[in-house]
């Protein structure tokens, strides 16, 4: 290699390797607890889908005779790899030991007893998650039905389960939300981001969403962390349920955890590209038209639309 190039490269390597300057941009993994892995979470979500909608996803050719074999093997595998991922999440999470004061901190030295306790907690959470799967299936069944009934282009239930990006995003959200309820850090967010990347639908795993939920087309939908959505709600592509502004603390940082996203009551419909901001309430049966910006409450049964376009 040209000597001049070689020197440039060696200099760059030295600069990039200055450990002490890296504070906060470098993650020192602990041998026995690597980062949660997007690839493994992908497998977990795929297995959950195979268990929730047997025969649609997964390689298996399902029949009455073999259903329990496949469910058994898949559920076991979920438990096994989910346990290790939850452990990674727990180790990753600085909250779990209350040592995070600011974003940039030194890496915690964990002793081996800590790891062992975290491992037991991970296994316990994983089992609780498995136990929640049957209920998850019941709720997702209502979402599938809502999408099928609400879309004249839907040819069959099969098509809805197998092809609809809305169902994919809602599945990931419901899988992730349950994990978040069980106290798993980091991973729920990764799972909803996977769906975000695939479908353009960005649902924060902390959002609260009722049954019979439908999202049509979906690209650009954003549902914030403290949003609350009732039953039988339908959103179109590009809808934002966002925060209007948020109070800052003394250092000018946003205060975390304050309710700041909208509440949508039962049977609300929001058309494409509408933006609903702040902790406001859209009343039962209300309809929000497309391309508008809503920052105030909407009464039950009301219908808000954009002011007339100029020709």
Which range in 39-47, 173-181, 227-235, 242-250 contacts a copy of itself by CB under 8 A? Answer: 242-250
The residue (of 250 and 310) whose beta carbon lies closer to a copy of itself is 310
CA distance 234 to 148: 12
The residue (of 35 and 40) whose beta carbon lies closer to a copy of itself is 35
CA distance 281 to 301: 12
By the rule CB under 8 A, 139 interacts with a copy of itself:
no
The residue (of 206 and 233) whose beta carbon lies closer to a copy of itself is 206
Q: Which of 43, 114, 151, 181 binds a copy of itself (CB under 8 A)?
A: 151
Contacts of 229 (CB under 8 A, 6+ apart): 207, 208, 209, 210, 213, 223, 241, 263, 264, 268
CA distance 141 to 146: 9
CA end-to-end span of the chain, whole Å? 64
The residue (of 136 and 263) whose beta carbon lies closer to a copy of itself is 136
Binding mask 60-99 for a copy of itself (x = CB under 8 A): xxxxxxxxxxxxxx-xx--xx-----------xxxx----
Q: Which of 49, 177, 234, 260 binds a copy of itself (CB under 8 A)?
A: 260
By the rule CB under 8 A, 10 interacts with a copy of itself:
yes
By the rule CB under 8 A, 141 interacts with a copy of itself:
yes
Binding mask 219-238 for a copy of itself (x = CB under 8 A): xx-x-xx----------xxx
- Binders of a copy of itself: how many residues, by CB under 8 A? 146
Q: Which of 97, 99, 158, 301 binds a copy of itself (CB under 8 A)?
A: 158
Q: Which of 41, 53, 174, 212 binds a copy of itself (CB under 8 A)?
A: 53
Are 279 and 261 a contacting pair, CB within 8 Å? yes
Q: Which of 47, 170, 275, 282 binds a copy of itself (CB under 8 A)?
A: 275
Packing angle, helices 38-52 and 187-199, rounded to 10: 80
Are 88 and 37 a contacting pair, CB within 8 Å? yes
The residue (of 199 and 263) whose beta carbon lies closer to a copy of itself is 199
Contacts of 39 (CB under 8 A, 6+ apart): none
What are the tokens at 211? 């049954």
By the rule CB under 8 A, 190 interacts with a copy of itself:
yes
Packing angle, helices 112-150 and 67-92, rounded to 10: 130
DSSP letters for 163-175: H-HHHHHHHHHHH
Are 287 and 269 a contacting pair, CB within 8 Å? yes
CB 174 to a copy of itself: min, Å: 14
Q: Which of 12, 97, 99, 301 binds a copy of itself (CB under 8 A)?
A: 12
The residue (of 36 and 230) whose beta carbon lies closer to a copy of itself is 36
By the rule CB under 8 A, 39 interacts with a copy of itself:
no
Query: What does each C-alpha distance from 311 to 156, 274, 291, 306, 308 come to in angstroms?
Result: 41, 21, 17, 14, 9
């Amino acid at each position: 290699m040209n000597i001049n190039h070689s020197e440039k490269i060696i200099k760059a390597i030295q600069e990039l390797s200055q450990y002490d300057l890296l504070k906060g941009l470098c993650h020192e993994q602990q041998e026995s607890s690597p980062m949660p892995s997007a690839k493994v979470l992908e497998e977990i979500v795929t297995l959950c889908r195979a268990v929730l909608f047997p025969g649609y996803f997964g390689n298996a050719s399902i029949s009455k005779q073999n259903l329990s074999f496949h469910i058994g093997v898949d559920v076991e595998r979920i438990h096994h790899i989910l346990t290790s991922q939850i452990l990674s999440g727990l180790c990753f999470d600085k909250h779990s030991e209350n040592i995070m004061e600011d974003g940039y901190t030194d890496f915690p030295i964990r002793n081996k007893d800590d790891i062992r306790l975290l491992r037991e907690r991970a296994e316990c959470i994983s089992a609780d998650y498995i136990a929640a799967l049957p209920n998850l299936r019941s709720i997702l069944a209502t979402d599938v039905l809502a999408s099928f009934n609400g879309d004249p282009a839907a040819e069959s239930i099969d098509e809805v389960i197998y092809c609809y990006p809305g169902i994919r995003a809602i599945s990931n959200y419901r899988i992730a939300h349950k994990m978040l309820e069980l106290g798993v850090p980091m991973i729920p967010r990764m799972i909803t981001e996977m769906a975000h990347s695939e479908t353009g639908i960005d649902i924060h795993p902390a959002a609260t969403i009722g049954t019979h939920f439908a999202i049509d087309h979906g690209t650009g939908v954003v549902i914030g962390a403290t949003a609350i959505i009732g039953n039988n709600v339908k959103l179109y592509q590009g809808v934002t349920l966002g925060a209007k502004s948020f109070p800052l603390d003394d250092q000018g940082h946003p205060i975390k955890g304050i309710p700041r996203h909208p509440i949508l009551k039962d049977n609300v419909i929001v058309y494409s590209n509408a933006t609903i901001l702040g902790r406001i309430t859209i009343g039962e049966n209300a309809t929000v038209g497309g391309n508008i910006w809503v920052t105030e409450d909407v009464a039950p049964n009301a219908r808000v639309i954009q002011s007339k376009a100029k020709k």
